[in-house]
Amino acid sequence: MRVSKLFTRTSKTAPADEVAKNAQLLIRAGYVHKEMAGVYAYLPLGLRVVEKIKQIVREEMDAIDSNELIMTGLQRKDVWEKTGRWSDEVVDIWFKTKLQDETELGLGWSHEEPIVEMLKAHIRSYKDLPVSLYQFQTKLRNELRAKSGIMRGREFVMKDMYSFHGSAEELEAYYQRTIDAYKRVYERLGLSDDTYVTFASGGSFTQFSHEFQTICDAGEDVIYLHREKNIAINEEVIDDAVKELGISRDELEKVKTAEVGNIFNFGSQKTDEMGLKFTSQDGQQSSIYMGSYGIGITRVMGVLVEKFADESGIVWPEAVAPYQVYLATIGDVAEQADALYDELRNKGIEVLYDDRDTRPGEKFADADLLGIPHRVVLSPKLIEQGSFEYKMRTETESNSLTKDELFATLSAA
What residue ranges bind ligand ATP (CB under 6 A)? Answer: 110, 141, 143, 152-153, 156, 158, 259-262, 294, 296, 298-299
For residue 274, give every residue at least 6 positions away whose Cβ sits within 8 Å of its Cβ, in sequence order, or none: 79, 82, 83, 113, 116, 117, 120
Quote the least distance from Cβ 321 to ligand ATP, whole Å. Answer: 21
Count of Cβ atoms closer than 10 Å to residue 6 Cβ: 17
Quote the least distance from Cβ 260 to ligand ATP, whole Å. Answer: 5
Residue whose CB is less far from ligand ATP, 158 or 288: 158
Q: How far apart are alpha carbons 379 and 260 in whole angstroms?
A: 43
Q: Which helix (H) or strand (E) holds 209?
A: strand 209-215
Q: What are phi and psi of 385, to 5 degrees?
A: -80, -10
Residue whose CB is less far from ligand ATP, 301 or 337: 301
Residue whose CB is less far from ligand ATP, 40 or 390: 40
Tell me whether strands 195-200 and 221-226 are parallel, antiparallel or unpaired. unpaired
Residue nearest to ligand ATP (CB): 296
Q: How far apart are alpha carbons 181 and 289 in whole angstroms?
A: 20
Residue whose CB is less far from ligand ATP, 160 or 354: 160
Residue whose CB is less far from ligand ATP, 154 or 363: 154
Quote the least distance from Cβ 209 to ligand ATP, whole Å. Answer: 8
Quote the least distance from Cβ 299 to ligand ATP, whole Å. Answer: 4
Q: Are 274 and 83 in contact (CB under 8 A)?
A: yes
State the DSSP string of 336-398: HHHHHHHHHHHTT--EEEE--SS-HHHHHHHHHHHT-SEEEEE-HHHHHHT-EEEEETT-S--
CA distances from 406 to 377, 392, 409 (A): 11, 12, 5
The SS3 call for residue 242 is helix
The candidate with the shortest Cα–Cα distance to 345, out of 314, 376, 367, is 376
The candidate with the shortest Cα–Cα distance to 52, out of 301, 253, 293, 398, is 301
Residue whose CB is less far from ligand ATP, 68 or 395: 68
Residue whose CB is less far from ligand ATP, 223 or 333: 223
Distance, CA of 32 to chain centre: 15
Residue whose CB is less far from ligand ATP, 202 or 317: 202
Residue whose CB is less far from ligand ATP, 299 or 375: 299
Q: Are 353 and 325 in contact (CB under 8 A)?
A: no
Q: How far apart are alpha carbons 329 and 359 in whole angstroms?
A: 10
Q: Please name every residue paired with 265 in a beta bridge, in sequence order, or none if there are none.
A: 291
Total length of the chain: 413
Quote the least distance from Cβ 138 to ligand ATP, whole Å. Answer: 10
- Which amino acid belongs to residue 58? R
Quote the least distance from Cβ 317 to ligand ATP, whole Å. Answer: 18
Quote the least distance from Cβ 296 to ligand ATP, whole Å. Answer: 2
Quote the least distance from Cβ 262 to ligand ATP, whole Å. Answer: 4
Quote the least distance from Cβ 300 to ligand ATP, whole Å. Answer: 7
Q: Are 39 and 83 in contact (CB under 8 A)?
A: no
Quote the least distance from Cβ 401 to ligand ATP, whole Å. Answer: 40
Residue whose CB is less far from ligand ATP, 203 or 360: 203
